[in-house]
Structure 1
Amino acid sequence: MTAAAPSGKDKHAHAEGTTERITIDEYQSTEGDYLIYVLHTATYDFARPHVVGKEVLDFGCGTGYGTAGLAEVATRVTGVDIAPEAVAYAHEHYQHPNLDFRTIGAIETSALPFDDDAFDVVVSFQVIEHVHAVDRYLAEISRVLRPGGAFLCVTPDRTLRLFPGQRPWNEFHVTEYAPEELRAVLAPRFPDVELLGMTAGPAVLRAELSRYRRTRLLTYPVTFPGIPDRWRLAGVRLVKRLIGGRSAGRVPTGDRRDFGFGPQDVRVAPGATPSVNVVAVARTSPAR
């Protein structure tokens, strides 16, 4: 994957307050920031063998660095996102003859702007946990996939992140899933669902699990089971202000620190534990 060149227009990468549509340079400030980048990059590395020679939709492409990596091996890749600033950044920084980016409307109210059976593979990473109308989201993905097509879905594993019944401490997450919960959601649309775990070496896990333990404890008073969502949102935003959010500062390539780990330390495999993300490879029926 080719990193974006530093640009004065990195501000276009931010959208709707979420910290998940940011640029490569903005992932380098702290160990926590870099860890997010490592896990995202490892996810796209996992997807590459599944898209070789395929027509691909990246649903939730963000600023496009992962989408561009898929275009190196796929026949055609289209990245879509609801954030126009992120899509503008992707257009500017990642240009290949077989790569396109589009802004779409929220899936709760807008259909995907593609014909039925348009793609061989749909990838959608760190998206399903943000979606209110999950069945509509999955119905649209199933519609644009060809018979026997593959849907690659990656989402945080609530088993490690949350106490039993705890609401998400990420203010932008609607629902977080344990592995079998994700299977149950996917199964009505996808008859063949393979679940994998995403784990990593000690340095990566130490940083990620430490963040989980700290955050779930600090936010539990506002994320306990049954709390109204408006109270949860107000509470987690307050906690975020008190403990400090991510830095969102750009670090030029020559000034980047070595945190002692990278995407090569991440492993995706059946039964991998402890698993920071649930990875699903779901397939449509061979014939409609």
Structure 2
Amino acid sequence: MSTALRRIDLSANTSSPDHDGTRLFNPFYPLVESSYVAYAVLFLAGLVLAVGVVANMAVMCVVWNNYYMRSAWNYLLASVAFWDFLVLVVCLPVVVLNHLSNRRVLGDITCRMVPYMEVVSLGITSFTLCALGIDRFHAATSSPEPKARRVEHCRSVLLKMLLVWLAALLLSSPEIFLWQLSQAVSLLSRLLLHVLQGRMWWCFGCYFCLPVLFTVLCQMATRNVNSDSSSAQKKRSHDERSDSQKRQQHQAVERQLNCTLLALAVVYGVCALPEHVCNITLAYTHLTISEVTAAILALLHHFLLFLKCAVTPVLLLCLCKVGSG
């Protein structure tokens, strides 16, 4: 996510001169104390990249190759896996190389592309959590009788995905222009400060509070509806005992889907909250941090996002009723 802290880091990289001309700085030689940190960052990045790429590809392949998994629920999860895959493959190497070489790779292109793709990924995840919460609430308020699984029409699935994608792509578009605005700090410093603070609160509300609160409220409403329906089922006559096993299986599937949605929201919230807390604290406490500290915090925030991209598909595969929607 592009925030004030990352702008500090990017501005520092922009203003720092290239001491070696066109030659990249080698953080691994000579072998000093900072080299061990570079090796640790490289090892962690390789581990996150390998796990995330394999897991996200597995989720996409499972959904794509199974006819009975072609529902809006599963395609939304597959779209999250697709964007997480892109963020890991495109953004992670650029971020690590920028940090280790102390210079920007490909100039303004990566400074625009990386924040945009990261915020799009957060938007896809946020709006997908909201859509899945609506799906779970709709399933709880519909008929409690178990229904045969059906494959949704392609038009219905594409419409739901299109709404999520368009919202994420359009709302993330200011990230492309914020980098250009940050280049005019000397002329528009006060305007830039207000823009970044507004963007900070917008990201906190739209990409953190909205999906987390939406998921919690949908879970609470779903549990209340399920408790009311279960108490009503206990009052039914004994003639319906023959359908009890099917009903129990149906309820077990619904509980697992609710647990999957809640687990996704927890992982997302845990990985996104530290950056928001850090940015708000730095913006309103007037703390001064060095460029080295800002670079370390920015790298940590990047890695939290990459960790979310790698853990989410692993979680789906472990819970592995991806196709139960």
Which interval holds the TM-score relative to the shorter structure? under 0.3
Q: Which has the larger radius of gyration?
A: 2
TM-score for both structures, normalised by structure 1: 0.27
The structure in which a higher percent of residues are helix is 2
TM-score for both structures, normalised by structure 2: 0.25
The structure in which a higher percent of residues are strand is 1
- Structure number with the bigger relative contact order (C-alpha 8 A, sep ≥ 6) is 2
